[in-house]
């Protein structure tokens, strides 16, 4: 197919965006189901297993329920901001999907050779960080606009937490960026393709990014408000935190945004540290790359669920001092070590 | 062919949309009564400016604009507004507007004069345009990094020194504003306090202070004649 033709190019991008959109939303829906089933397994119960085979249709039943439920808007809510907040949350979460590198160049029947990424540009990594940092507004404004003390406390906590952990998250990625010399996610993945597809930044010389990887994982969990850092929605103290006053589809949007963000940080983890679509025999069979990529992402999603079933919640001051006094200095140390190693042996 | 026409004018169209968004949000920023709405408007100004940077082939500046201004600074501003919860009734008096309005008109005139000067004298020379066509990748991250660490190394380092001074200054001010003796500890349950008022660095050598009423706690904190106390009384 002739990709130089602007119409075909635009149509191709349109189709690619829609396929990715639906694919990501399906993965998100089944992550929710997996979370409930795995949590059930961890806690010695069954979890939802009645709708469809083994509960496979449960996400759709939930969605239908979210759509059909009554919308309740608090009387004293600031209506405009109250409606704006979930839109900001889900838009910011979904916008980062255009830079996910799903796989290498593949040759598909009837279509020809295509690259499995929607947009490849110079600052892709910064773009993801920027878009996710805008997502804070969804949470903070939801807390403010609901005019409820639980929501406000949840929103304030979320704003403080996300700002604090964004720093160590960003700094933990600097090591990888230093080693790759680019911010383009696709090129970062391509550089990890040696050693039969096992030349991952996690093991790569001169300095394996193990430290950066651990810091990234911890701060990514805090960035997505997951256990053990789910202070903004701590149900034992804040009812449901920033989304206490949200119901029906607006609540579903927050819920989806949280899981899309989980997916995004998992994608970044596998892309930057675990080689993205790289693995054995990808050079012979490019479509295998998509499988490797999704397998790595699913591993991180499973890790999230596993942690939720295992760990208790932090106290808020512990969270803050951990982020600022431990994670941030260690992240800076990682940057210094990587730069030194690159200077000496790079 | 509508689509073909659209494709040709797409950058112009994008510019128009972003420009209108920036100006509209800026107007909303200064006219809103509610400070939170003003802050949200400012976020939209920053986002549309980032879009304009991308149109100018400077993706790095655009991303940094969103991360630093929209993602960090404005979140802190909104955080403070949410904490203070300023009432809408707090309106500026007419007396303040009386001298603000002429000032605004004069400043706007200066701004327009500057813009007109640039449009008629700088842009029209043609020399800049010929040069500007070639380096379309000046805005890329690698080029900006190379520039910062070679040609502009001294200004870059001086800026970082300035920022360090600002941090040290902020920390000094925050220390001075603390009303707690470093050895004081409030036992949770009797009175609740935000924990950052405690000097956690010296928690190892603490003498617990147990209080049961607000007055007692204030005395223990050395707050008994603090300004907020007098305002309420």
Out of B7, B64, B83, the one facing A6 most closely (by C-beta) is B7
Out of B3, B72, B79, the one facing A160 most closely (by C-beta) is B79
Chain A's closest residue to B44, CA to CA, is: A134
What would the two tokens of residue A190 be? 């391509």
Question: Which pLDDT band, with edges at 50, 70 and 90, does B232 fall under?
Answer: very low
Question: Which pLDDT band, with edges at 50, 70 and 90, does B184 fall under?
Answer: low
Phi first, then psi: what are they for A218, rounded to 5°? -65, -50
Distance from CA of A147 to the nearest CA of B (A): 11
Over the stretch B99-138, which tens digit does the pLDDT of each residue have?
778 888 899 999 999 988 888 777 555 555 545 544 566 7
Out of B36, B40, B59, the one facing A123 most closely (by C-beta) is B59
What would the two tokens of residue B200 be? 């956690």
B188 contacts on A by Cβ (under 8 Å): none
Phi first, then psi: what are they for A112, rounded to 5°? 100, -160
Contact A126 B67 (CB under 8 A): yes
- Report helix, strand or coil for A106: strand
Choice between A72 and B194, residue whose per-residue pLDDT is larger: A72
Contact B60 A155 (CB under 8 A): no
Q: How far from the centroid of its chain's Cα atoms is residue B110's Cα?
A: 24
The size of chain A, in residues, is 346
Look at residues A204, A198, A149, A163 and name the one whose alpha carbon lies nearest to residue A345: A204
Distance from CA of A27 to the nearest CA of B (A): 27
Chain A's closest residue to B137, CA to CA, is: A122
Q: Is the pLDDT of residue B181 over 60?
A: no
- Contact indicator for A167, B87 with CB cutoff of 8 Å: no
The span from the CA of A73 to the CA of A75, in Å, is 6
For the CA atoms of A337, A338, A339, A342, what is the dihedral angle to 10 degrees?
A: 120
The strand pairing partners of B185, in sequence order, are: B208
Contact A133 B71 (CB under 8 A): yes
Q: Which residues contact A251 (CB under 8 A, 6 or more apart)?
A: A66, A86, A243
Over the stretch A279-335, which tens digit does the pLDDT of each residue have?
888 778 888 888 888 899 999 999 988 988 888 888 888 888 888 889 999 999 999
Alpha helices in chain B (DSSP H): 2-8, 10-31, 35-55, 59-64, 74-84, 94-117, 127-133, 141-149, 153-177, 214-221, 227-232
Distances (CA, A) of A144 to A187, A251, A273, B85, B104: 41, 16, 37, 9, 32
Question: Which pLDDT band, with edges at 50, 70 and 90, does B183 fall under?
Answer: low
Element (H, E) at A288: helix A288-310
Look at residues A337, A304, A298 and name the one whose alpha carbon lies nearest to residue A212: A337
- Supply the DSSP string of B121-144, one letter for each residue: IIGGGSHHHHHHHS-TTTTSHHHH
Q: How many CA atoms, within 13 angstroms, populate the side-chain half-sphere of residue A58?
A: 18
Q: Which residues in B have their CB inside 8 Å of a CB on A?
A: 3, 7, 36-37, 40, 43, 47, 50, 59-60, 62-64, 66-67, 70-72, 75-76, 78-79, 82-83, 140-142, 195-196, 200
Question: Which pLDDT band, with edges at 50, 70 and 90, does B191 fall under?
Answer: very low
Q: Which residues contact A7 (CB under 8 A, 6 or more apart)?
A: B3
Distances (CA, A) of B209 to A165, A206, B1, B70, B192: 33, 53, 80, 42, 13
- Report helix, strand or coil for A181: coil
What would the two tokens of residue B29 be? 């920023």
Contact B40 A130 (CB under 8 A): no
What would the two tokens of residue A294 be? 């999704």
Residue in A82, A124, A130 to test binding to B, most B beta-carbons within 10 Å: A130
| Prior bond of A206 cis (ω within 30°) | yes
Chain A's closest residue to B81, CA to CA, is: A144
Which portions of chain A are predicted below pLDDT 50? Answer: none
Contact B82 A140 (CB under 8 A): yes
The strand pairing partners of A114, in sequence order, are: A106
């Amino acid at each position: 197919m002739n990709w130089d033709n602007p119409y075909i190019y635009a149509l191709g991008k349109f189709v690619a965006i829609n396929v990715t959109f639906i694919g990501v939303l399906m993965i998100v829906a089944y992550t929710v189901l997996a979370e409930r089933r795995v949590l059930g397994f961890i806690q010695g119960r069954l979890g939802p297993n009645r709708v469809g085979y083994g509960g496979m249709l449960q996400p759709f039943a939930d969605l239908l329920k979210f759509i059909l439920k009554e919308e309740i808007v608090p009387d004293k809510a600031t209506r405009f901001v109250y409606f704006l907040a979930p839109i900001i949350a889900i838009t910011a979460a979904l916008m980062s999907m255009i830079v996910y590198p799903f796989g290498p160049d593949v040759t598909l029947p009837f279509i020809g050779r295509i690259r499995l990424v929607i947009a490849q540009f110079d600052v892709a990594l910064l773009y993801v960080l920027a878009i996710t940092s805008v997502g804070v507004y969804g949470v903070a404004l939801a807390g403010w606009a609901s005019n409820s003390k639980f929501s406000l406390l949840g929103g304030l906590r979320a704003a403080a937490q996300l700002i604090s952990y964004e720093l160590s998250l960003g700094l933990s990625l600097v090591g990888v960026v230093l080693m790759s010399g680019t911010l383009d996610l696709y090129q970062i993945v391509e550089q990890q393709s040696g050693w039969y597809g096992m030349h991952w930044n996690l093991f790569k010389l001169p300095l394996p990014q193990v430290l950066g990887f651990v810091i990234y994982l911890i701060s990514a969990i805090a960035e997505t408000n997951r256990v053990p850092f789910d202070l903004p929605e701590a149900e034992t103290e804040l009812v449901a935190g920033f989304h206490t006053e949200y119901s029906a589809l607006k609540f579903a949007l927050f819920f989806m945004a949280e899981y899309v963000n989980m997916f995004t940080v998992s994608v970044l983890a596998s892309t930057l540290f675990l080689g993205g679509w790289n693995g054995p025999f990808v050079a012979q069979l490019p479509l295998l790359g998509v499988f490797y990529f999704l397998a790595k992402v699913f591993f991180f999603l499973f890790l999230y669920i596993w942690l939720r079933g295992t760990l208790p919640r932090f106290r808020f001051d512990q969270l803050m001092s951990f982020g600022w006094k431990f994670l941030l200095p260690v992240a800076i140390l990682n940057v210094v070590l990587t730069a030194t190693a690159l200077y000496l042996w790079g | 062919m509508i689509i073909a026409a659209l494709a040709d004018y797409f950058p112009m169209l994008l510019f128009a949309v972003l420009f209108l968004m920036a100006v509209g949000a800026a107007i909303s920023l200064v006219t809103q009564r509610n400070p939170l709405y003003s802050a949200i408007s400012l976020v939209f100004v920053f986002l549309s400016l980032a879009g304009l940077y991308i149109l100018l082939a400077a993706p790095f500046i655009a991303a940094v604009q969103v991360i630093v201004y929209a993602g960090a600074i404005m979140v802190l501003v909104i955080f403070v507004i949410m904490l203070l919860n300023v009432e809408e009734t707090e309106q500026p008096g007419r007396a303040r507007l009386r001298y603000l309005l002429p000032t605004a008109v004069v400043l706007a005139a200066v701004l327009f004069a500057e813009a007109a000067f640039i449009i008629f004298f700088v842009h029209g020379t043609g020399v800049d345009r010929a040069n500007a066509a070639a380096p379309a990748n000046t805005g890329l991250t690698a080029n900006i990094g190379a520039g910062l660490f070679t040609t502009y190394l001294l200004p870059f380092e001086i800026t970082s020194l300035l920022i360090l001074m600002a941090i040290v200054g902020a920390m000094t001010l925050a220390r001075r504003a603390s009303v707690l003796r470093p050895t004081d500890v409030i036992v949770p349950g009797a009175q609740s306090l935000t924990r950052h008022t405690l000097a956690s660095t010296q928690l190892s050598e603490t003498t617990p202070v147990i209080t049961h009423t607000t007055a007692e706690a204030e005395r223990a904190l050395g707050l008994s004649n603090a300004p907020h106390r007098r305002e309420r009384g």
